[in-house]
Amino acid sequence: MNIFDNYLQKINKLILDNKKSLNLKNLDNLKNINLEVPPEQFNFDLSTNISLVLSKPNKIDSNDLANKIKELFIKFIIHFEKVEVAGPGFINIKLSKEGILSNIKDIFNNRNFYGAKKSNKTFNIEFVSANPTGPMHVGHCRGAIYGDVLSNLLSFNGNKVVKEYYINDYGNQIENFVESVYRRIREIKYNEKFIAKENLYPGDYIREIANNILKQNKNIAVNNFKDSFKELKQLSLKESMALIKNDLKLLGITHDIFSSETDLINKDLVSKAVKCLKKDNYVEEGFLTPPKGELSKDWKKIKRLIFKSTLFGDDMDRALQKNDGSWTYFANDVAYHMDKINRKFNNLINILGADHTGYIKRITAAVLALSKKKVNLNCKVCQLVKLYKDGKPFKMSKRAGDFISAQDLLNEVDKDSLRFMMLNRSNDVELDFDFDKVKEKTKDNPVFYVQYAYARINSIVRALNINLNDKILIAPDKFNPNIYEEKILRKIFEWPKIIESASFKYEPHKIPYYLYELSTLFHSYWSKGNEDNKFKFIKNGKVERDETLAFVFLIAIVIKNGMNILGVSLPEKM
RNA sequence: GCGCCUGUAGCUCAACUGGAUAGAGCGCUUGGCUACGGACCAGGAGGUUCUGGGUUCAAAUCCUAGCAGGCGCACCA
């Protein structure tokens, strides 16, 4: 448990025990009470809005109430040493040395789990799910890293998380892809010119796939596309998935499960899913409303099965069947999500690219319908990535033809920097990715800055020949933190809050921001030694004050936990 | 036209499920360090949080009407 939860619980109990003397009759909004880090200038450890929240419904003056609560705090909560009412009725609290030390002890005891918000739900996170028609590109990278780190974060809290990849190995795009491979094979085998007609994939990697297939299947028949299709599809998919898995590996990402769309269809799960929806009257046979504006030539008014997604907040009902009666992509996806529901997850999360925003309502609706509103699907969207190099938008088209591949990126920057920078923004915001910045070994590069703090800590450990895994426990009478250490400590105490809010809103970007701030405090303290000898960490090969070492170790613990979640490495030397 | 996302310092962005004097980095500016305990540190200037209304003790945050930008609006995948 973190210190905020811990003390908040004590505060709540104290208020309930004393509600008569405080003249509190209405405690409905007790849950709105929070315990936070006060703004820095106040120089306190904790701050609560309790009086502001309770005064109104009980028709008491906020300041009067705050002062009464203040007295209770001092009297009954042993770790609260100094309590002050400030502003409109906030109560600021400074912890006693004993209180601080007991919390420090907890951190050392929890160590690799310090900050975790304990939870034991089951999550399924579907991410990347790039079409298996070629290697990953930049846009996939962002979602891939976001999904991976979100999984790490939720696992860190103790949840069971399954990372899943949905292979869209069915439909027209796959046929076009396989045909492209087919033609490339003929090109190699019979010297037949590859004509890049519409819908075919022109990229060089198709040629490589063709080569690989030929190498292993010298006698493969490519006389007639229809006849070769089945075998070639299987071989081509194997190749393209190998490309994708390799890209993922380079990014440091592994999925637990790869689910195949073709599999779902073969198992007839689609008709089962539709039947399930039908049973609850969510499916009707009818006509789609024609698209607004000018009718396209393809538009046909045909009776078909339609999912009534508007019942669950969608803008329009969605077709489950195409003109020819076959299932739509959406219908297959409904089946896929039914499969996930049947695998008993509390929470489903889909990570999508910005271009799939319009799809969210219908699939969320489907999950609600299939699960009788028991399972919640949460779709998170990653906005576009814009690349910059030399201050200009960066466009590169090497092997791919028309897109920048993950490999192109990784040729320029290392995995750690890529991961950190991709996370250093809220997923809802477009991300400018500047190659030059990421490669710098300066403060401009936040990855470096955080890693450097950790490396500096390790230089101390080396100089003193001590072990970073030791606990530094200090007796209260010998504990005299200076102002820099107090600041650091408050930041360290804040860590569980960061984890909590990052987990709650699925916003892992809060972690890199926090780590940067923590690193700033460290570098700043470190530099004090250059200005004033009394702040030097090491003098004559020794540490004079245990506090120094304790704070340095605490910082190391938090940076390590944070970077582990981000999946970014921490060199001990740089 | 409809839906989703975004709008905060010159630029790129934070702001802990409504909190106190809205914070960082870059850029600008002033100073310190000349070091492997290196690749940094400290200070300064810089704000009508897109606009108008509303809710609240308290609004960048919630509601509402607009404005601007991005993405999407198939029987594709």
Residue A401: what pLDDT? 52
In a domain, A317, yes or no: no
Q: Which nucleotide is nearest to A543 (CA to C1')?
A: B37
Nucleotides of chain B within 7 Å of a protein C-beta? 1-7, 12-17, 19-21, 23-27, 32-33, 36-42, 56-58, 70-77
Residue A556: what pLDDT? 95
pLDDT higher than 80, residue A47: yes
Read off the amino acid at residue A88: P
Residue A29: what pLDDT? 81
Span A38-54, mean pLDDT? Answer: 92
Q: Which domain holds residue A14?
A: 3-95
* pLDDT tens-digit readout, A507-529: 999 999 999 999 999 999 999 88
In a domain, A135, yes or no: no
What is the rounded CA–CA span in Å between residue A350 and residue A510? 20
Residue A557: what pLDDT? 96
* pLDDT tens-digit readout, A485-503: 999 999 999 999 999 999 9
CA of residue A376 to C1' of nucleotide B18, angstroms: 26
Last residue of a domain, one of A44, A65, A95: A95
Residue A394: what pLDDT? 77
Span A314-330, mean pLDDT? Answer: 93
What is the rounded CA–CA span in Å between residue A127 and residue A421? 19
| C-beta contacts of A458-461 below 8 A and 24+ residues apart | A458/A572, A458/A573, A459/A573, A460/A537, A460/A538, A460/A552
In a domain, A49, yes or no: yes
Residue A444: what pLDDT? 75
pLDDT higher than 60, residue A141: yes
Q: Which nucleotide is nearest to A539 (CA to C1')?
A: B37
Look up the protein residue whose alpha carbon has the minimum distance to the C1' of B33.
Answer: A530
Q: Which nucleotide is nearest to A536 (CA to C1')?
A: B37
Model confidence band, residue A202 (pLDDT cutoffs 50, 70, 90): confident
Last residue of a domain, one of A31, A65, A95: A95
Give the CATH number for residue A474: 1.10.730.10
pLDDT higher than 70, residue A96: yes
CA of residue A61 to C1' of nucleotide B37, angstroms: 54
* pLDDT tens-digit readout, A417-476: 999 999 999 999 999 888 888 887 777 789 999 999 999 999 999 888 889 998 888 889
Tokens of A348: 């489903």
Q: Mapping DSSP to helix (H, G, I), strand (E, B) and coil, where does residue A115 land?
A: coil
CA of residue A18 to C1' of nucleotide B4, angstroms: 48
* Mean pLDDT of all residues belonging to chain A: 91
Q: Which nucleotide is nearest to A36 (CA to C1')?
A: B16
Which position has the token pair 């450890």? A45
CA of residue A273 to C1' of nucleotide B50, angstroms: 46
pLDDT higher than 50, residue A350: yes
CA of residue A29 to C1' of nucleotide B25, angstroms: 39
Look up the protein residue whose alpha carbon has the minimum distance to the C1' of B35.
Answer: A530
Q: Mapping DSSP to helix (H, G, I), strand (E, B) and coil, where does residue A125 land?
A: strand
Residue A398: what pLDDT? 44
Which position has the token pair 């999508």? A352
CA of residue A170 to C1' of nucleotide B74, angstroms: 18
Model confidence band, residue A128 (pLDDT cutoffs 50, 70, 90): very high
CA of residue A36 to C1' of nucleotide B60, angstroms: 19
pLDDT higher than 60, residue A265: yes
Report the percent of chain A where pLDDT is more than 90: 71
Look up the protein residue whose alpha carbon has the minimum distance to the C1' of B14.
Answer: A513
Tokens of A404: 């920048």
Look up the protein residue whose alpha carbon has the minimum distance to the C1' of B19.
Answer: A49
Span A279-286, mean pLDDT? Answer: 94
In a domain, A204, yes or no: no
Q: Are A453 and A519 in contact (CB under 8 A)?
A: yes
pLDDT higher than 70, residue A143: yes
What is the rounded CA–CA span in Å between residue A458 and residue A451? 11
Q: How many domains does chain A have?
A: 2
In a domain, A84, yes or no: yes
Residue A457: what pLDDT? 93
ipTM entry: 0.94
Last residue of a domain, one of A45, A73, A95: A95
Backbone φ and ψ for A86, nearest 5 degrees, come out as -140, 155
Q: Are A432 and A424 in contact (CB under 8 A)?
A: no
Q: Which nucleotide is nearest to A462 (CA to C1')?
A: B37
Helix axes A510-531, A415-423, angle to 10 degrees: 110
Helix axes A510-531, A483-504, angle to 10 degrees: 170
Q: Which nucleotide is nearest to A525 (CA to C1')?
A: B41
Give the CATH number for residue A30: 3.30.1360.70
In a domain, A305, yes or no: no
Backbone φ and ψ for A68, nearest 5 degrees, come out as -65, -45
In a domain, A473, yes or no: yes
Q: Which nucleotide is nearest to A292 (CA to C1')?
A: B1
CA of residue A196 to C1' of nucleotide B73, angstroms: 29
CA of residue A184 to C1' of nucleotide B73, angstroms: 36
In a domain, A395, yes or no: no
Q: Are A244 and A132 in contact (CB under 8 A)?
A: yes
